[in-house]
Structure 1
């Protein structure tokens, strides 16, 4: 067989056995087509302390002969020497773990070799491949392959949106498929006229067989969907098993594999299955609910063809009585997912994330795994293995970000100064690092002091360099206008502190996380002191932001100049301070972020103390003025639309020096008139099944329970969003027009609490138009 070199992007990874040896199989998309890459024989590895070697050998002697014990130039964080256990087969590896896990301490035993192989070679998505080449039908197979990183390779991946419709028991009705070339539904039933392209089949067996044919014909690199892994693929796999069908949709005809544990994992050799919900969450999108109907409306301004909560009953009805309508609904769901992926560049985001972290494209969450991927190979090259969870025995919690007591009031000019990526900058400046902590503690007289007895090496560390590389890559992405890469880097950089402070991370140590947060407290407090020494009042501070009140008499241009002067002065002071105190360069960078004019910081409701994380300010944009709300009712999903509309209106009146009493009375009159009933609806999700609510039943649960007991809606369960209103007789589920709403409730709980928040208000000034006496002491 010929030798050749290819460049490609990894789509799937497997651990396989050939000739009773472990091999790794990677499928890559290259410019020349598909590559099936099979490595040379591998050995799966885990680590033990060298002092446990004799006990491990004795334990395994009766069970395994194929395990090689190899002393290594590696050590544990406590400086104990380490031995590697190398296994020729996965069977040996799993037996080794089973025999030893309760007998001695194992290290890095949870890392799949298919992941470790790439990780140790710094392969993150793109790879150069060389080996013995053989052309096959539809792909190129490379045996005895060797891989190395190709970080610049950007793939062009084809996408297909998939969605199934089925009964409540998972019996299939239809499957929708949408890609660049075709939009089609495979539907069980006799052929009928339809507005969409339908391939009619006789039964479930025929539907699954047709699905295999269509997927292989359309041949996508990436299959997308909404909850496509946990639901669509899982149901398809269950029905295929029940009917004895093999879903041979791998690029070489191999079957789809579905495994369930803490989460469902789908493997289709040569393809990626990418879930829309998980990808959006990874990209830090936030929605009131991640139901497709809601997200599509918010992102695209489009709706599903069926939106009611009991749509399963409607789907079943359509299957039996109007299959063309069901086909249209099925196809529309596929189109909505496709359009969301295209508009938000979600596939491009997933590719950028993989190129940065080495994680699989479809990996859910993964902040801890991403950190491990980036850090572990560097740690090994410095002579250490990773510790196990909590081996240091420290249990104290690290404090959160610094939040200053606010000085409530209405201000004309407020400047906001933000530290750019404060926690990553602290990591980089003060050399916060897991290995650096161990090295620093071993030579504290030369180390950089941290907090809670932490000390960090000035020389031996990796995380500061990783932060520097990410910061440079982010700037380069910004210069190129690559927004997806910028976002992916920002998420990873901001996750570094969270990972070190997470008990689910093997590198968790409260001395690490507290040396970041407490240094942040110190920086914020010192910055405040410097600004006040310059003669300005600091009215609030939150994690990395400092709010500075400056004279009312200053114009917008003067405020801009002052903000830039403060920014320059503070950065210079930090550079001088860190150099003189620690003999270190400073990577702290404060930026003049925003000029609010006016700005309002409310008190805590019913108190004179200033609130935290709640304010509103006006900014100037190219389109005019804009109100920016933080933490107030207008940005909270558990308040009604009337409360949000009123707050916008009354704050606008406050800032424009208009009559806030008149605005308040106008909204009270609107509520009492019945003209805004559609804005009196609360929405809240059920956190558990209805029958699990026994004590302290909140209003949305009361409404759902009543609707269930009366048969109005029996589809509400855990995870359902309940739309309800308060009637004269209590909470009711929304079913069309509101019946007998309790307008006094909305005035008491949604209008007047916002009015009371305003400065120098007089409750007696409000005319309530014949309303009963209001009780303003209760909670919402």
Structure 2
């Protein structure tokens, strides 16, 4: 047994109690790492899990535990709750005892209840968190060579500088029946490109050769899958809805068939626990879902289906295009297994290429390096905040509060949105505060600990809103934001776009987390002090700009839209915009220093020149709308229309409406525009609509927000279309979250299949006319003109 020091990147984490054959006691932590020396299995024995309780409740807690024969060790850790109440740590040699104690304490009658703090933090996470280990780690211990990996016992771990591992990735996809009976599994990547298929071997064409492993039954298929994954030995398995669907189905079938799925390294067993989200553990590997990763990287698609994303990102389609994809999969399994194998394999390839095209693995690695979350853990803004903040809080002598400990019930307001002045403008500049909410938090020291310390000593604190005060010296978020901002600037300077994007997402999530009632640090005084300060900043900024002689036509959260004189060219507008930014920044630096005796981290900058710019009214009214506008930008001589909140930017309007609105605004923004130019465009669209030229562009797309059975009183058109289709094709299945494509025909709403007699009058009234009317109202065209055009054209 030797000793050495290895650098690695954490792939998976587990914790388990020592069994009777072990030479160790307590909890053993198991971390699998990727390293330049191959996979590392790192074992940290003799650990204790912990939570905290109020010191005054220790005696009662000891009595309750003794009565139930639950062993715990109480230690004074000199920590207290936000209320100032002293706390004591309760240590347990196994997690089962911790869960028993927590349940026992929380189930007591109200007057005898023991309050538990941080009882939901897994020790395998806490161990890394308290050591500031975020993905990359140095490890040493007793080293032995095992089959396919190095094992390190009695390990010691220390945070390492960012280390980019060379990870082996395989794309996995399954095909099955509606009841989850397995048909095939595809595997592509890291030297493997195959499909495992149940059935008798089928002779393939020489020109269409694919690697297919034929299996007798599902048990044979699962056995072959284990063998191939063991041979290829990937670090990461990727897929589309791969945790909630593919691995969940594999796990359920394995349990039903009495098969252990030993898909992990060291023949580790797949474990899946379902709750608010499905938690998957695969020792030595991590499983990353494409949909979750895209959402966390802030990509936006009207549908996150593989069919839609592959079409938008790669320009490619799935091999099965049928409305009822499941029935076609069943048919191919029974009648054409080679086509099903090709379809299964193609899905694996599409997922792999999307990950490569959008650098999703790189994004996941960077996110772990910043937050310490598992590579596969997505949608975890609250967990990321806890990972970053909790160890800092502990070092300040405090335990984390529980939800609702603040005892306040009022709601904090949202972001500031200004009333708009509708119309068509020649020049509009947008001045944008860089990371406004993080800048407010940094400037005014808004922080959970800072609030507690500020309330304790308000005389020298920075006042917030809703009776909040924030300590000038005892806080953590301002320093964390400063570090993140500096790291982001460095990432930009060194051309690391994924790192820059990941930092931006984390910084922007800090307010969202503090404003989320699902976060243990939520306090409406915190979120109100951020948003209401934002309101004040936006309103004051508008006042200053108007005092300088300019007109502010709109403002939204952190952006201010300013109208400049029509006669100015682009360069003159930019000069004014940049000077305005300098003036506003100087005013804020002076004002904040004078009012609060603290430096300002607010920074407004010139973001965009729109020329022209259109601000509509609220539909059917004359008052200005919010979060809806369209403007034209000029980028290196190339003009582009930017739509925000308009029909063209919304997925629930048809492609016909998108094209119609785009063409109208391209005309409206011409230098020589006059209103009569709109007439031939409208006439053309109406003629072509009734001639059937737009039939393929009349499709509505809406996501199914609930399960079909839940639509009882209010049945929206997409559900009406589904139920009508199911009356003819009862085997048709569609699930909550899927996007429904439907059209309006002379016989009513129905699912789209390109063979309909369309209700063109519906599309004229609901898709074309509202867009035209919006332009007429905002331009304040004479009612006589509007009435004439409506009668003659609509």
Give the TM interval when normalised to the shorter protein: over 0.9
> What TM-score comes out, normalization by structure 2 length?
0.95
Superposed displacement of residue 721, structure 1: 2.3
Q: What is the alpha-carbon root mean square deviation over aligned residues?
A: 1.4
Secondary structure of 2:762's aligned partner: helix
Name the SS for the 1:111 alignment partner. coil
| Deviation digits for residues 641-666 of structure 1 (CA, Å, limit 9, x no counterpart) | 11111111111111111412222222
Is 112-121 or 308-317 further displaced after alignment? 308-317
**CA separation of 1:694/1:94 partners in 2, compared to 1, >3 Å: closer, same or farther?**
closer
Q: Provide the secondary structure at the position in 2 that maps to 1:239.
A: helix
Is the aligned partner of 1:460 residue 2:495? no
C-alpha contact 1:123 1:151 (8 A) present in aligned 2: no
Task: State the distance in 1 between where 2:690 and 2:70 align.
Answer: 83
The corresponding residue for 1:747 is 764
Instruction: Identify if the C-alpha distance between structure 1 residues 221 and 533 changes in structure 2 by more than 3 Å, giving closer, same or farther.
Output: same
Distance 2:528 2:74 in 1: 39
Partner of 2:346: 332
- Please say if residues 405 and 610 of structure 1, whose CA atoms lie closer than 8 Å, have aligned partners that are also in contact: yes
In structure 2, how many angstroms separate the alpha carbons of the residues matched to 1:716 and 1:37? 44
C-alpha distance in structure 2 between counterparts of 1:433 and 1:273, whole Å: 34
Residue 65 of structure 1 deviates from its aligned partner by: 5.5
Q: Residue in 2 aligned with 1:2? A: 2
- Name which of 584, 594, 615 aligns with 2:608: 594
Equivalence for 2:72: 67
Question: Which residue in the other structure is 1:660 paired with?
Answer: 678
Partner of 1:136: 146
Moved more, 347-356 or 255-264: 255-264
Counterpart-to-counterpart distance in 2, 1:40 and 1:190: 49
Contact 1:665 1:766 in 2 (8 A): no
- Distance (Å, rounded) in 1 between the aligned partners of 2:590 and 2:59: 56
Task: Give deviations 1:263-307, integer Å, cap 9, x for gaps.
Answer: 221111100011111111111112111111111101111111012
Q: Is contact 2:327-2:732 (8 Å) kept?
A: no
- Specify the alignment match of 1:448 in structure 2: 462
The alignment status of 1:530 with 2:544, answered yes or no, reads yes
For 2:57, the equivalent position in structure 1 comes to 52
Distance in 1, matches of 2:731 and 2:553, equals 50
Cα deviation for residue 573 of structure 1 reads 1.0
Alignment of 1:178-217 (within 5 A): 178-194=188-204, 195-217=209-231
Mapping of residues 424-435 of structure 1, within 5 Å: 424-435=438-449
1:536 to partner: Cα distance: 0.5
Q: Is the 8 A contact 1:653 1:663 kept in 2?
A: no
SS of 2:39's partner is: strand
Partners of 2:86 and 2:733 in 1: how far apart?
A: 59
Secondary structure at 1:364 match in 2: coil
* 2:752 counterpart (710, 725, 734): 734
* Aligned counterpart in structure 1 of residue 384 of structure 2, from 370, 382, 385: 370
Q: Could you list the runs of 5+ residues in structure 1 that have no partner in the other structure?
A: 775-780
Q: Is the 8 A contact 1:187 1:198 kept in 2?
A: yes
The equivalent of 1:763 in structure 2 is 786
Provide the residue aligned with 1:152 in structure 2: 162
Q: Please tell me whether the aligned partners of residues 420 and 589 of structure 1 are also in contact (alpha carbons under 8 angstroms).
A: yes
> 1:78 and 1:287 mapped to 2: Cα distance?
45
| Corresponding residue to 2:126 among 106, 112, 116 | 116
2:279 to 251, 262, 265: 265
Instruction: Return the alpha-carbon distance in structure 2 between the equivalents of residues 703 and 268 of structure 1.
Output: 41
1:763 is displaced (CA, Å) by: 2.1
Matches of residues 321-360 of structure 1 in structure 2 within 5 Å? Answer: 321-360=335-374
User: Residue by residue, what CA displacement relative to the aligned partner does 1:61-83 show, whole Å, maximum 9, x if unpaired?
Assistant: 12235310112210000111110
Contact 2:70 2:101 in 1 (8 A): no
- Cα separation, 2, equivalents of 1:517 and 1:65: 47
Please give the per-residue CA displacement for 1:447-474, whole angstroms capped at 9, x wherever unaligned. 0000000000000000001111111111
Please say which of residues 457-466 and 278-287 is displaced more in the overlay: 278-287
Which one of the candidate residues 87, 90, 99 is aligned to 2:104?
A: 99
1:607 Cα shift? Answer: 1.4
Paired residues of 1:668 and 1:768 also in contact (CA < 8 A): no
Total equivalences in the alignment: 770
CA–CA distance in structure 1, aligned partners of residues 715 and 215 of structure 2: 48
CA deviations on 1:205-259 (whole Å, 9 max, x unpaired) are 1111110000000100000111111111111112222222222222111211122
1:305 corresponding residue in structure 2: 319
SS across alignment from 2:15: strand
Find the counterpart in structure 2 of residue 613 from structure 1: 627
1:45 aligned counterpart, secondary structure: strand
Partner of 1:777: none
1:462-477 equivalences under 5 Å are 462-477=476-491
1:96 & 1:713 partners in 2: Cα distance?
49
Q: Is the 8 A contact 1:64 1:92 kept in 2?
A: no
Contact 2:484–2:503 (Cα < 8 Å) also in 1? yes
The aligned runs of 1:373-388 (5 Å cut-off) are 373-388=387-402
Separation of aligned partners in 2, 1:277 and 1:198: 27
CA contact (8 A) 1:73 1:383 kept: yes
Q: Which residue pairs with 1:683 in the alignment?
A: 701
1: CA distance, partners of 2:714 / 2:84: 54
SS at match of 2:161: coil
Query: Does residue 32 in structure 1 map to residue 37 in structure 2?
Result: yes
Within 5 Å, give how 1:6-21 maps onto structure 2.
6-18=6-18, 19=22, 20-21=25-26
Say whether the 8 Å CA contact 1:664–1:766 is kept in structure 2: no
For residues 109-148 of structure 1, the C-alpha deviation after alignment (integer angstroms, 9 at most, x for no partner) is 0000000000000000001111111111111111111111
SS of equivalent residue, structure 2 residue 40: strand
**Residue 697 of structure 1 corresponds to which residue in structure 2?**
715
> Displacement of 1:709 after TM fit?
1.4
Q: Using the TM superposition, give the Cα deviation of residue 767 of structure 1 relative to its aligned residue in structure 2, in angstroms.
A: 6.6
Residue 2 of structure 1 aligns to a residue whose secondary structure is coil
Unaligned stretches of 5+ residues in structure 2 = 108-112
